[in-house]
Amino acid sequence: MTQTFIQMSGQGDEDGDVSAIVKTRSKTKRPPLYKVLLLNDDFTPMEFVVAVLERFFGMNHAQAFEIMLTVHKRGLAVVGVFTHEIAETKVTQVMDFARRHQHPLQCTMEKE
Ligand code: TYC
């Protein structure tokens, strides 16, 4: 909470009263952000990873294929940046989807 006091100059009115305007402003702080990372492995099929990126991260096929290849070549990639709750939900969705399909795909989050 920030209070701004506006200083009044002069000696006040005939009673000697000095008035002040006090503005109270609630600072809207931006929430901390978290990177969601997708990790490479040797077994998850490329098409499955592409499907994950389309389904849970709203990418089109070309974007998803490009990011999948980045993970495949470099070992990992940031696939999105979200608030804590949304990042956690994405990680859970990906991990559940991979487990249901019996793929070892790993997805994690870290503070930006
Ligand atoms: N390396 C996997 C393969 O050759 C493909 C892959 C890409 C797996 C990205 C996981 O996050 C991943 N089939």
Question: Could you read off the pLDDT tens digit of each residue along the chain, which spans 112 residues?
Answer: 333 333 334 444 555 555 666 667 789 999 999 999 999 999 999 999 999 999 999 999 999 999 999 999 999 999 999 999 999 999 999 999 999 999 999 999 999 9
CA of 19 to the centre of ligand 1 (A): 69
Phi, psi of 37 (to 5 degrees): -110, 140
pTM to 2 decimals? 0.80
Q: Whose CA is nearest to atom 12 of ligand 1?
A: 40
Q: Whose CA is nearest to atom 11 of ligand 1?
A: 40
Q: Which of 98, 48, 96, 90 is nearest to 68 (CA)?
A: 48
